[in-house]
Amino acid sequence: MEIDPVIREWLRLAAQAPSSHNTQPWRFRVDRAGVEVWTDPARSLPVNDSTGRERIISCGCAVLNLRVAAAADGQGLNVRPEQAGDGPFVRLLTGHQGGPDRQELAPLRDGIGARHSWRGRFRPDAPAPDIIATLVQAARQEGAWLRPVTDPECCGEVADLVRGATAAQWKNPAWRRELAHWMRAPSHGDGLPVGRLSGGLTRWSVRHLVSARAMARGEARAARAAPVLLALGTGIEGPMQWLTAGQALQRVLLEAARHGLCARYLNQPIQQAEWRPKLAERLGGGQPQLLFALGRPYGTPHPTPRRPLDEMLKR
């Protein structure tokens, strides 16, 4: 079936979503009723994300982008998460009214191209309280919670968890190998971009040279220096909640992008199963799904590559 150019553009925008290690673990199926977003198990990260939680969160981010793209074109979508044998997927049926959701999502359209992840330093100024309140509300509208970690003592404790979990990750040779595997020249269209000539050396140092202690110290410092440290989570745990978390994350990030704000992820205590309950306890309960610093970057974030759309289509 030839895909309508309008829907093709929605899919292009959906694929601008963030994903762990830029794996782009989504597949799109288009038929007369609308679009389906499926996860792609072939693009999983068995060490970093053994349960597929982040893979499904990433697909949730793509779903939100699709909803925003349709809303900006004045189209409502009926969004139906469904459970299939190999995980959840989302049906987005076209030709609906859309209601208030459509009016609220449409202005986020420009944020899709403006949003980028950041791994460098932030300017010290914290986002204004009314911006934070908008972000908290954005997560709530998607059925998730967003908690700013503002108490200095709690912030210090969370930074200590980031340090411990980062050290554990970097002490695991399999985790290092998996990260190095996803470090690629931009021409690959996926993964974490490294120079075409220097990439081999970068991958070798990720596998063998980088000091776990130095990484841990650096990540803890980033948590402590965050203009604002934010945790996003759900009430309970499960694949449907991961889809919710992904849509909430992307709604928060697109709102943030409108104010020139970027996220630096500090997910390590969530990615490591044994550290997650400790983080949940410090945050006051619930299921933390993402932890990130948010601020205005020093410098300009570079866009990361995406694969050709045809590679993301499910026949």
Query: What one-character DSSP code corresponds to residue 106?
Result: G
Q: In the chain, where does DSSP find H-type helix?
A: 5-14, 53-72, 99-105, 111-114, 129-141, 152-170, 173-181, 199-204, 212-224, 239-258, 268-271, 276-283
Distance CA 10, CA 196 (A): 31
Q: Is 288 in the site for ligand FMN (CB under 6 A)?
A: no
Q: Specify the residue, 30 or 206, whose C-beta has the smaller distance to ligand FMN.
A: 206
The distance of closest approach from Cβ of residue 80 to ligand FMN in the complex, given in angstroms and rounded to an integer, is 22
- The two tokens of residue 215 are 């990484």
Q: Is 190 in the site for ligand FMN (CB under 6 A)?
A: no
Which of 18, 34, 52, 111 forms a contact with ligand FMN (CB under 6 A)?
18
Q: Is 234 in the site for ligand FMN (CB under 6 A)?
A: no
- Segment (H or E) for 90: strand 87-96
CB crowding 92-106: b at 16 or more within 10 Å, else e: bebeeebeeebeebb
The distance of closest approach from Cβ of residue 262 to ligand FMN in the complex, given in angstroms and rounded to an integer, is 8
- How many residues touch ligand FMN under the rule CB under 6 A: the total is 16
Phi/psi of residue 297, each to 5°?
-75, 150
Q: Is 89 in the site for ligand FMN (CB under 6 A)?
A: no
Q: Is 265 in the site for ligand FMN (CB under 6 A)?
A: yes
Q: Is 25 in the site for ligand FMN (CB under 6 A)?
A: no
Q: Is 20 in the site for ligand FMN (CB under 6 A)?
A: yes
- The two tokens of residue 283 are 């945050």
Q: Tell me how crowded residue 172 is: count the other CB atoms within 10 A of its CB.
A: 14
Q: In what order do the strands lie in the sheet with 228-234?
A: 145-149, 228-234, 287-295, 262-265
Q: Give the residue at shortest CB distance from ligand FMN.
A: 18
Which of 65, 166, 234, 267 forms a contact with ligand FMN (CB under 6 A)?
267
Give the x-and-dash track for 147-186 against ligand FMN (CB under 6 A): ----------------------------------------
Q: Is 16:2 a contact under the CB 8 Å cutoff?
A: no
The distance of closest approach from Cβ of residue 167 to ligand FMN in the complex, given in angstroms and rounded to an integer, is 15
Q: Specify the residue, 102 or 264, whose C-beta has the smaller distance to ligand FMN.
A: 264
- The two tokens of residue 97 are 């009214």
The distance of closest approach from Cβ of residue 60 to ligand FMN in the complex, given in angstroms and rounded to an integer, is 9
Residues 112-131 contacting ligand FMN, CB under 6 A:
116-117, 119
Distance CA 288, CA 267 (A): 9
Q: Specify the residue, 39 or 267, whose C-beta has the smaller distance to ligand FMN.
A: 267
Which of 61, 79, 216, 229 forms a contact with ligand FMN (CB under 6 A)?
61
Q: Is 192 in the site for ligand FMN (CB under 6 A)?
A: yes
Q: Which residues bind ligand FMN (CB under 6 A)?
A: 18-22, 54, 57-58, 61, 116-117, 119, 192, 265, 267, 304
